[in-house]
Amino acid sequence: MQVSSIKKCAGCGDHRSEVELMRIVNNKGEIKVDPGGVMSGRDVYICPQITCLDAAVKNNGLSDALKIEISDSIYNKLLEEINHG
Ligand SMILES: [Zn+2]
């Protein structure tokens, strides 16, 4: 039996099962989306939707959690994950 834990979305603040959320990891300075939850590093969770990505960027939830500035390229990469992932 797989036990999933409850995580908080950095955008809307809702608490959801981690399988419903998108895990974003700062893997040695590179921002990656980690659906399997296997990468180590600073991480943050958001609902896989644009409104939560935008909110998490605006409220500095992503940059604070990942200790990195969310550049356009990082933003676009996350946006792509949401649109196609
Ligand atoms: Zn959310």
CATH at 75: 3.30.1230.10
User: Does the residue 73 lie in any domain?
Assistant: yes
Q: Which residues contact 1 (CB under 8 A, 6 or more apart)?
A: none
Ligand 1 center–CA 10 separation, angstroms: 7
d(CA 56, CA 58): 6
Domains of the chain: total = 1
Show pLDDT as tens, one digit a residue, over the chain (85 residues).
566 799 999 999 999 999 999 999 999 999 999 988 899 999 999 999 999 999 999 999 999 999 999 999 999 999 999 998 6
Using alpha carbons, select from 45, 57, 55, 63 the residue that is nearest to residue 12: 55
Ligand 1 center–CA 57 separation, angstroms: 12
Ligand 1 center–CA 30 separation, angstroms: 23
User: Does the residue 50 lie in any domain?
Assistant: yes
Task: Provide the whole-model pTM.
Answer: 0.92
Residue 13 region, left (φ>0) first, then alpha (ψ -120 to 50), else beta? left
Ligand 1 center–CA 8 separation, angstroms: 8
> At residue 55, what are phi and psi to the nearest 5 degrees?
-65, -40
Structural domain span for residue 63: 6-84
